[in-house]
Chain A
Amino acid sequence: MSRTGTAETNYLNAQHGLKSWLLTLDHKRIGLLYLMGVSFFFLLGGIFALLIRLELLTPQGDLVQPDTYNRLFSMHGIMMVFFFLIPAIPGVLGNFLIPIMIGTRDVAFPRLNLASWYIFMAGGSITLLGVLAGGVDTGWTFYPPYSSLYSATNVLTVGIGVFVNGFSSILTGLNFMVTIHRMRAPGMTWFRLPLFVWGHYATSFINVLGTPVIAITLLLLVLERAFHLGIFDATKGGDPVLFQHLFWFYSHPAVYIMILPSMAVISELIAAFTRKRVFGYHFVAFSSIGIAVLGFLVWGHHMFVSGQSVYAGTAFSLLTMLVAIPSAIKVFNWSFTLYQGSVSFDTPMLYALGFIGLFMIGGLTGVFLGTLGFDIHVHDTYFVVAHFHYVMVGGTIMGYLGGLHYWWPKITGRTYPEFWGRMSAMLVFVGFNLTFFPQFLLGYMGMPRRYHAYPEEWQVLNVLSTAGASVLGLGFLLPLGYLLWSLKYGKLAGKNPWGAKGLEWTTDSPPPTENFRDAPVVSEEAYDYAGAGHGDGGAPAPARAH
């Protein structure tokens, strides 16, 4: 019996040896290479986060030097944003699933796909060199003139590392868009695509159009710092606020790069664990595109107090309100999918339900921040920190973990222990809220961000937050344990352990290298649970009585 337990060859055992992995052109293996990479950076970023929360247990800055603390939060942000949140779901799940979901053998440009991973690892390695040399203390936002003229840290190294990494996003986005446009199986029309694919298509749109702008921005910053050009230096006729415009022109759409893939996963989870077509399929699909387009128009809401005119602020505020609408539409549609569904509470569904609640809070507090009169008070306070952690952890990471659990049987051919899965999901949910809800309160009371020392009256809330972080950390570590354990000891999974719809569940677990033994031809709508029995064959399943 092979390692994976199936008698036939699959993508995992088709070839052996390190070279067959490092030179692979198989999108599924590349997905696993990304899994290694992003997991490493997530762990590193997580360690920095724990150190931050430890320092904040006490009002005085007494655990680490101020300078060290500044490097900790900067590197936490850089690792998490650029080397985990942006690449994780597209790199791991997108790569693995998109060709299978559309019924084809691979992505449009397999060599480019492998190159994207190497570029990601190269950017990460350069940045890691920067970390070993002491990191940067500029914040992940690199604002000049501090970053260009005053910081004595490794801005050049880390800046170049992030710059290089950007090309990985661009090429992956390009690859996905061409794949989705040109390689769908016969019968797979646009509106039969799983919403996972729509979400990644919208993400790719942003990756291709937005990432080049951060590339040129970081390049200009690196040149400015190295050669003292003066482009962002007020004493030379330059303008540091220009950097903010250029930076946020990408970095706002970037948050949609982080959330859209997670929303894409949630659509799949909701459908699978209610055994019902996602409510309002077309509205959800078009909302993804709407978020991607509108997301390019709102960057100024990061700069309401930066010195830009109140009229510009008003325009950005209005547009920010509008970009919230497609997200709201999605949340309502997901929620309503449960009506007359057949709801089961497996681990992936726990993550999906948790996502809905946490994303609501995160998204709504985003609307708060887009409200001009409110933002002036809370800008650059812990309110903002709480908001973005609600959407990035409560949103993106919940979706990532949910998706990882849902497709784990397909990817590895093994099932994970459901008890531990549910336990971790609940620990993550509880730990997360305990960590970050107090931060909304701290922010409104006036605690600024990036402070390692604070007035004594805020200690209780900080202690609660740190306690939550420990629970959250445990919740993240457990899957590392039991998922690895399942590779050897997990029960073997069949083709379709969840009884779900979708082309990926019609092929073996793990799939063969060419994905399908017989090329699929599609004749049914997405999530066609209520239709006559398809897929695994057999009589139509008993439908829920109205």
Chain B
Amino acid sequence: MSHGHSSALAHHFDSLEQQREASTLGMWLFLVQEVMFFGGLFMTYMLYRWRDPEAFAAGSHDLNITLGLLNTVVLIASSLTMAMAVHSAQTSRRRPLIGYLTATGVLGLAFLVVKYFEYSAKWEHHLVPGPLFHFSEPAIGGRAEVFFSLYFAMTGMHALHMVIGIALLAWILRGAVRGRFDASYYNPVENFGLYWHFVDIVWIFLFPMLYLIGRHYHGGA
């Protein structure tokens, strides 16, 4: 066992390669359990949508497609900047790495700001489930509450993952500013990238499931 290794090597690993493989495998396993976590919500959504498609279409129709689409574009762009960040780390280019990481963070924050506007609008329109819930269309009425419960649960859980992601991003950015990452050691950036892409993919599923099914809903008729 050699001790002439870089300071990035943790003492319980034998080599940087073992450490890298271990942390990458760890991140993939973590993402697998995240799939199971969101999976429960997706199953619930599918069941209730099958049971009352009309109420779901009506609820979906009330969502702001423009803002939803904007957020989708924002997240996809942030995945692009994240991929570029990983590439910069792999090629030891520190300034672009910092730049791309910052851009990813800014886009992530933009997503959350848009979400804030969407949620406040829901609050004002009495679409937050609970005692104050009131859906304006009489034919649907309380049936839409399950849709909105799932809307808030799913997008809320997603937004929470975004918040955690941005916090982790700040930590990675700190490391990047201090020059910790280069071609010989960029694994944390890469693993964080996996997490960020995963959160993006969850949104790619959420957007059509929640926002697009009500596009042609005419209501009442």
Contacts and interface: CB of A to CB of B under 8 A. Distances in A.
Touching chains A and B, CB distance < 8 Å: yes
A115 to B, nearest CB: 13
Nearest to B36: A212
B44 A208 contact: no
Contacts of A249: 40
B21 interface: yes
A237 B40 contact: no
B149 interface: yes
A106 interface: yes
Contacts of A230: 129, 142, 145-146, 149
A229 B130 contact: yes
A419 interface: no
B154 to A, nearest CB: 10
Contact of B29 (A174, A216, A223, A246): A174
A122 to B, nearest CB: 17
Interface in A64-113: 104-110
Given A213-B36, A213-B40, A519-B1, A108 B22 contact: yes
A182 B16 CA distance: 12
Contacts of A179: 22
Interface in A162-204: 170, 174-175, 177-179, 181-183
A227 B123 CA distance: 14
A173 to B, nearest CB: 8
B29 A177 contact: yes
B29 A178 contact: yes
A57 B23 CA distance: 55
A407 B19 CA distance: 30
Interface stretch (B47-55, B64-72, B78-86, B180-188): B47-55
A236 interface: yes
Contacts of A170: 33
B33 A209 contact: yes
B75 to A, nearest CB: 22
B18 interface: yes
A148 to B, nearest CB: 12
Main secondary structure of the interface of A (DSSP, over half): helix
B150 interface: yes
Name B's interface SS.
helix
Contacts of B26: 108-109, 174-175, 178
Size class of B's contact patch?
A: 35 or more
B55 A104 contact: no
A32 interface: no
Given A177-B29, A228-B130, A237-B55, A212 B12 contact: no
A211 interface: yes
A366 interface: no
A231 interface: yes
Contacts of B1: 519
Given A110-B12, A217-B40, A178 B22 contact: yes
A209 B32 contact: yes
Contacts of A246: 40, 43-44
A216 B153 CA distance: 10
B215 to A, nearest CB: 23
Contact of B12 (A104, A217, A238, A242): A104
Contacts of A208: 29, 32-33
Contacts of B38: 216
A212 B38 CA distance: 8
A493 interface: no
Contacts of B143: 237
Contacts of A519: 1
A236 B142 contact: yes
B25 interface: yes
B175 interface: no
A242 B10 CA distance: 45
27 contacts: A106-B12, A107-B12, A108-B23, A109-B22, A109-B26, A110-B10, A174-B33, A178-B22, A179-B22, A182-B21, A182-B25, A213-B36, A213-B37, A217-B40, A220-B44, A223-B153, A228-B131, A229-B129, A229-B146, A229-B153, A231-B150, A231-B153, A237-B143, A239-B47, A242-B47, A246-B44, A519-B1
Interface of A: 104-110, 170, 174-175, 177-179, 181-183, 208-213, 215-217, 220, 223, 227-231, 236-239, 242, 246, 249, 519
Interface of B: 1, 10-13, 18, 21-23, 25-26, 29-30, 32-34, 36-41, 43-44, 47-48, 51-52, 55, 129-131, 142-143, 145-146, 149-150, 153, 157
Closest 6 CB pairs of A and B: A212-B37, A229-B149, A216-B40, A106-B12, A212-B36, A182-B22
Given A179-B22, A183-B13, A237-B142, 5 more contacts: A106-B12, A183-B22, A227-B129, A231-B48, A231-B149
